[in-house]
Structure 1
């Protein structure tokens, strides 16, 4: 008898290491575990392994009345594919991480140059002190932006966005934008279908673009004002009609000027920017989940022509529609394949 062939070994999971420090904000560490930990491919296989590490194993103080018992030391960073650095209360000191603590510097030096590194909130101060943000567009919490700029005037700080993506290095503005950034990384790795499934499981919006405003002064319209929600809902159902600003304003019986102002108050984006994002999101979904040809997807998403869709995808994602579909629908792709009817029912 011949021995049975050994089963094919499962591919190694993408390892995410969450580096926590004394005074860590536990909600930010939890976000990373919850979202990456929920990510599954179409067969239900986990896509990430998430571990928490500290400068030394053991009890780590948080900014709350409980502690974290961390099993891993900095050696967990050695083989990490993604490293996430949440904020800590020490980041709010008068001169945080200036100079960088030798132990923290040694830990960061263990990160592979091929690994992706992300900060949440004031974790960006650590990456800046370590010299990891040079040449990057970065953000941090809007309340700390002035302090960050004073400490690191040579860095390209954008205090008005939810997150930034520089390829290897990413930064998020604060607690909730840590959710947005994590979903963005999942979407980049495995496509919109996986990220949307995680968002549904977490009961959060599936996509807020990194360029959206951090701080919206009037996130809920005053009672005496009309909202723009009906216009947005209508637009999402009629993207194939290529609605414009005048169409949206007419839905709310407002002038274009008034509608634009109130839209920005509620959403933090211009109507044109929001519409462009919704079209691109729908195109990505259809490329992953349907068998529609590219020209039909372009029509469905309101781009009009395949050439226009290609232009927008190259500009927004750096890939063509066909390359995007191969990535997330080909062998090893993790998108959920499904037949999606066309706008006119076909």
Structure 2
């Protein structure tokens, strides 16, 4: 999104995760000139005068993920941010808050899943406000750097649409004269299903007021730690066999993968993979049916391991996009030397490389 705005390109973003959509709306506010420094001053001033020890939110597991003293400090932050009148600037403050939750809650930062820290690794409650202050200063610096980049913009601001919803049925509209550039990196993670972004977002979402999310479904999607992941791509195995059959007819590489699972009696163990790839195929079909003009698609994928079998996701994506009329024109491979995970986990070998493939629709 940022790269598009810097280049004065219109942008449409789709994500079912309300926190991801809020972050995008915060970037829109920054681009539009919202008074972020003024919002920061409002928050810091409110913090200095807040002496209350009340904990303002309640949700299942709060005592597990937040010590009482930390919860008091997060409540003070919540009250301070709520005093920012401009919604766009307030959303920028919530992104700083969300990062502070990630760093200071009792969930480990080394995994996307909610996983309790060892007792000796808990962040001291005194660090909550200090961490927020550090994050805020860094954010203000990035805002200034970004605004310097767009300061010479000679055209009108690009049009931005943020859609918080299911990418398989998002209401997409483009001008017929436009050329589409689609960029995506599907969640092909090393977990039993895919990367659990819902769990990753859950704690921050439970602190942020519902009205500040750009989604009417925010309350439902934060009902529990699994609610968001359950409605994301591959979130349920319901209908997995039908999805598998449909993709096998389109992708020879997926068909070969399933045949190997059948041969080695691991068919049941790959249902989550089949469900995810079926859902992802539906997304690609929806994207292309919503836009029949010229386009370039850029897909970054990794070949994870499931049930001891390597999922040839890069080749499967080539099959799916080629079937839609896209022509692969180049592929780039990247090592992931800094990945903060071991080379193996309970599911098998971990991803160490990514492949970015560019497709052309003419």
Using the size of structure 2 for normalisation, the TM-score is: 0.26
Task: Return the structure number with greater helix share.
Answer: 2
Return the TM-score normalized by structure 1. 0.26
RCO higher in structure (CA 8 A, sep ≥6): 2
